[in-house]
Amino acid sequence: MAKNKTALEILDDPDFKALVSKKNTVSLILTILEFVLYFGFVGLIAYNKPFLAQKMSPDSDTTIGIPIAVLTIVFSWVLTAIYIFWANASYDKDVQKVKDKMGG
């Protein structure tokens, strides 16, 4: 078993730095995608209400805005699922390797 390391040794460890960098990259990409999705929808509401108010078909009461709103929510769930899948498949294993190396 490895000896316990100090906080400074952990922060200076190249494996720990790579782990933090990987997590930050994935988190940043998913956050940017979520912001574009959400604020894009809000922008449509603010600047193009006539488009969202169009009927799906002449006989329908459903407007185009309804499925777009639903897809916004569903895609948010998909982004969350992507993060969970990545964390379970990759990140958690890398965290455990760093913890084992650090003696924790």
Query: Has residue 1 been placed in a domain?
Result: no
- The token pair that represents 85 in the structure block: 């899948």
Q: What is the pLDDT of residues 25-42, one digit of tens each?
A: 999 999 999 999 999 999
Q: Which residue is it, tokens 């964390």?
A: 87
Residue 2 near residue 103 (C-beta atoms within 8 A): yes
Nearest of 83, 42, 81, 88 to residue 65 by alpha carbon: 42
**Which of the four pLDDT bands, split at 50, 70 and 90, describes residue 103?**
confident
* pLDDT higher than threshold 90 for residue 68: yes
Q: Is the pTM of this model over 0.85?
A: no
Query: Has residue 2 been placed in a domain?
Result: no
What is the spatial distance between Cα 54 and Cα 76, in angstroms, rounded to a whole number? 24
Query: Has residue 86 been placed in a domain?
Result: yes
Residue 34 near residue 79 (C-beta atoms within 8 A): yes
Query: Has residue 27 been placed in a domain?
Result: yes
Query: Residue 63: beta bridge partners?
Result: 55
Query: Has residue 75 been placed in a domain?
Result: yes
Total tally of structural domains belonging to the chain: 1
Domain limits at 87? Answer: 7-102
Query: Has residue 35 been placed in a domain?
Result: yes
Query: Has residue 42 been placed in a domain?
Result: yes
